[in-house]
Chains A and B, each alone.
Chain A
Amino acid sequence: MTLQEFQTKVQELQNTVRMGSDPEKRRYFYELFDDLYLFLETNDWEKENLIEHGVPDSQAHFQNVAEGYYHLGFFEVAFYFFSKLTYDLWYQKVLEYQEKHNERLHKGTQVHQIGIIMDLLSDKTMAWDYYIAGLIEDIVSGRKMESSQAFRMLRVLGMPRAELKDLDSKIKDAGIIFDPLDFISQLRQESSLSTYAENQSVDYNKLKQAELLWNKVLKEKEEKQNDK
């Protein structure tokens, strides 16, 4: 996404905002973009401007603007799209940095926040994949799977623990992953990483009943083999 494309999308979204009558929120809304535009026009895309900041930091333009719009989303849904757009741009700029410097940067916030936004907008399919991307980022950065926020969100959406464990080992086997979304696509081609729709299509209560019967089937098979 170029700066021009980004600005065009922002202008398109602005037409959908109804908050104009509230001067305080309106001011906040425009100030956020003033900040971001200034940053986009003057920054040099150095690491300091692209990494996540744990504490408030004036260099964290993307983070501040995206979070600002995310909070405005509580008042008006349209702002979630502004927030997502900012996280998208941040993510893409980090990918460009990685390509140029052959250095991986952590992108957990971007992908996880996009997951949350899509979840709030009821696009569970996209949220599912972005949470998986968040999990990948956390594991590649050395965090334990169970301590990742993405792990909890995927559990809430219904991904079985065993599938998550399997995913954990696949991520660890892969080593450095520069682009988690690309890795997801690769996993879907090479193995059996489920989609949200596929996961939702299974009734796990029935599967549990089947499991109980399966044990009987195996027992009988064993008895038959012993009789032979």
Chain B
Amino acid sequence: MINSGNLLEDFSELFLSSINGFIVRHKRSWAMGPNSKREHDYDLLINNVASVFSEFGNYILIECKNWTDNVGYDEVAKFLHKLHSRRCNTGIIIALNNVTHKDFNPTIKRAYDQDGIVVIILDLNDIEMVLKRKINLSTLLRKKYESARFGFNNN
């Protein structure tokens, strides 16, 4: 049986690589924790060669969250740390639940102000809108990027 984490990762791989120039280089990485325990690092690594997304940086980390409960601040903070340690400018969290973006906006904005890192959250509603072709995926990513970087409230 396919485990749910993998299914969401497989979906995210196809979904994000539908953007020409987003090349998935690596799937699911593990890191060593302080007690020599294997800990989940990131789900996808994208090499970005899309000229329309040059601002995103060369590498984008992706985290897939099969959350059943609300997204916690800790999750976003941990992800920011991973991005920082990998010198990645942009990270994308794919969440299976709807996420209230305004709860995270101050954290995300601060991450850009302090470290120049942008975190984009794509939730269930965003994904459905893209798959139903109501919003173009590139347009949505650009909008969310601008929102995180400049603090627009237009998600």
What is A's interface to B at a CB cutoff of 8 Å? 160-163, 166, 189-195, 197-204, 206-207, 209-211, 213-214, 216-217, 220-221, 224-225, 228
Contacts and interface: CB of A to CB of B under 8 A. Distances in A.
23 contacts: A160-B133, A162-B132, A162-B133, A162-B134, A163-B135, A189-B154, A192-B135, A194-B135, A195-B139, A199-B136, A201-B21, A202-B19, A203-B20, A207-B14, A207-B137, A213-B11, A213-B14, A214-B131, A216-B7, A216-B11, A221-B66, A225-B68, A228-B68
B19 A191 contact: no
A191 B131 CA distance: 17
A19 B95 CA distance: 61
Contacts, number: 92
A198 B139 contact: yes
B113 interface: no
A210 B19 contact: no
Interface residues of B, number: 32
Contact of A210 (B21, B52, B131, B134): B131
B8 to A, nearest CB: 6
A112 B18 CA distance: 31
A201 B52 contact: yes
Given A162-B132, A201-B19, A214-B127, A193 B68 contact: no
B154 A191 contact: yes
Contacts of A225: 68
Interface of A is mostly: helix
Contacts of A207: 14-15, 18, 130-131, 137
Residue among A166, A213, A228 with the highest chain B CB neighbour number at 10 A: A213
A211 B127 CA distance: 9
Contacts of B11: 210, 213-214, 216-217
A194 B139 contact: yes
B15 to A, nearest CB: 4
B139 A192 contact: yes
A198 B131 contact: no
Interface string B111-155: 000000000000000010011111111111011000000000010
A196 B14 CA distance: 22
A206 B52 contact: no
Contacts of A197: 52, 138
Nearest to B152: A189
A47 B11 CA distance: 56
A194 B136 contact: yes
A204 B133 CA distance: 10
B50 interface: yes
Nearest to A198: B138
Nearest to B135: A192
Contact of B14 (A160, A161, A191, A210): A210
Closest 8 CB pairs of A and B: A160-B133, A162-B133, A198-B138, A194-B136, A206-B18, A210-B14, A210-B15, A207-B18
A213 B12 CA distance: 9
A198 B51 CA distance: 11
Contacts of A209: 14
Nearest to A225: B68
B154 A190 contact: yes
